[in-house]
Amino acid sequence: MKEFSRQFEEIKEHIDRANRILIISHQKPDGDTLGAALGLSHFLDSLGKQHTCFCIHKVPQHFGYLPKIETFTSDHEWIKRHHYDLVCVLDSGDLVYAGVEDLIKDLQVHKPIIINIDHHPTNTRFGHTNLVHEQASSTSEIIFHFLDYHRHPISQEVATCLLTGIITDTGIFSNLATTSSSLEAAAKLLGYGARLKNIMLYTMRNTPLTHLQLWGKALSRLKENPETGIVTTAITVKDFEELGIEDEATEGIANFLNTLRKTKMVMVFKESEKGKIKVSLRTTDPYINVATLAKAFGGGGHKKAAGFSIEASLIETENGWDIE
Ligand SMILES: [Mn+2]
């Protein structure tokens, strides 16, 4: 972690100087953005620093086991009325992805310092200090290295938050984000008392029946293009309405399809509202970089897992699903 010592020092100095800090998790929050935010929040508590955790969307209920998750707010107006001199944006390639472009504009009256902590290779370095570590499994792992660097004691609470991020972003240590460094960090966090049983129960074994019914629809529509080797499927607004569920139910489908044998690439088209399609891209092919593809359409992500949104409609062809 030596290569990041300058950023580790800089961030600590900014924190020491700040009076009021805003921690931002990205929209549609996942285990990593929340785990990293709360890990940082517990750290700020131990320094006696006033701070707020913000996410534009409500935190999903199943993260209720994360200590202090109830302190998250989505109240833009409330944030606007307070004076923040430091803003930490976590696990977000850019401010649009974070869902806080407008909020940051509103906060500009007080000219806060912006700290960007992330592991997405498509990160735009939008902060005054950018701690972007592309090889890290998760932003939570980066927070772990930050605390470790400053030799700050890690409590059971912090360990549970950070291990949540590592476990969810590595798909329980199964995807390519799994490295010796992420395993080492996880081992240390377990040593600090991280509640592994709760993490597994609430993040990995907590699927509602209706979500699997939606997966069933997606699986029944799978198509493979024999020429390109690309596998596609689609989920429509109607599916969500019929099952009475939100689009978070699709989380994990693309990763699951990526277990298919001999597939160039998996594309999941999700119609989140009429005329708006979210495309998730996955590959295990060593020569394909889906982040580049996603970026060409205004999205982003990792080499093997990325996505973008587009205004289009779904069409079904003989060899697969497409957009037009
Ligand atoms: Mn992440």
127 and 144 co-located in one domain:
yes
245 and 97 co-located in one domain:
no
Distance 252 CA to ligand 1 centre (A): 14
Query: CATH code at 288?
Result: 3.10.310.30
pLDDT for 15 equals: 98
Q: Using alpha carbons only, give the angle 114, 7, 106 rounded to the nearest 5 degrees.
A: 0
Distance 145 CA to ligand 1 centre (A): 15
Q: Which of 4, 13, 73, 3 is nearest to 37 (CA)?
A: 73
The total number of structural domains in the chain stands at 2
pLDDT for 249 equals: 83
Can you give the residue range of the structural domain that contains 214?
A: 209-323
Distance 315 CA to ligand 1 centre (A): 31
The torsion angles phi and psi of 124, rounded to 5 degrees, stand at -90, 5
Distance 170 CA to ligand 1 centre (A): 9
Residue where a domain terminates, one of 204, 235, 261: 204
Distance 210 CA to ligand 1 centre (A): 26
Residue where a domain terminates, one of 204, 235, 254: 204
Distance 209 CA to ligand 1 centre (A): 26
Distance 90 CA to ligand 1 centre (A): 8
71 and 121 co-located in one domain:
yes
Distance 242 CA to ligand 1 centre (A): 31
Q: Which of 307, 312, 209 is nearest to 265 (CA)?
A: 307
Distance 318 CA to ligand 1 centre (A): 36
Q: For residue 104, is it left (φ>0), alpha (ψ between -120 and 50) or beta?
A: alpha
Distance 215 CA to ligand 1 centre (A): 23
128 and 147 co-located in one domain:
yes
196 and 265 co-located in one domain:
no
Distance 91 CA to ligand 1 centre (A): 5
Distance 216 CA to ligand 1 centre (A): 27
pLDDT for 83 equals: 94
Residue where a domain terminates, one of 204, 238, 271: 204
Distance 161 CA to ligand 1 centre (A): 13
Which tens digits make up the pLDDT trace of 85-133?
999 999 999 999 999 999 999 999 999 999 999 999 999 999 999 999 9
Distance 122 CA to ligand 1 centre (A): 12
Distance 138 CA to ligand 1 centre (A): 4
The torsion angles phi and psi of 179, rounded to 5 degrees, stand at -130, 175
Distance 121 CA to ligand 1 centre (A): 11
69 and 217 co-located in one domain:
no
Distance 220 CA to ligand 1 centre (A): 30
151 and 48 co-located in one domain:
yes
Rounded Cα distance, 75 and 57, in Å: 10
255 and 273 co-located in one domain:
yes
Distance 119 CA to ligand 1 centre (A): 7
Cβ partners under 8 Å of residue 25, min gap 6: 33, 34, 36, 37, 53, 54, 55, 72, 90, 91, 98
Each residue's pLDDT, cut to its tens digit, for the chain (324 residues) gives 789 999 999 999 999 999 999 999 999 999 999 999 999 999 999 999 999 999 999 999 999 999 999 999 999 999 999 999 999 999 999 999 999 999 999 999 999 999 999 999 999 999 999 999 999 999 999 999 999 999 999 999 999 999 999 999 999 998 889 999 999 999 999 999 999 999 999 998 888 899 999 999 999 999 999 999 999 999 999 999 999 998 878 888 999 999 899 899 999 999 988 899 999 999 999 999 999 999 999 999 999 999 999 999 999 999 999 999
Looking up tokens 């600590």, which residue turns up? 12
191 and 84 co-located in one domain:
yes
Distance 143 CA to ligand 1 centre (A): 12
240 and 267 co-located in one domain:
yes
pLDDT for 204 equals: 84
Distance 319 CA to ligand 1 centre (A): 33
Return the axis-axis angle of helices 156-169 and 139-149, rounded to nearest 10°.
140
Which tens digits make up the pLDDT trace of 274-318?
899 999 999 999 999 999 999 999 999 999 999 999 999 999 999
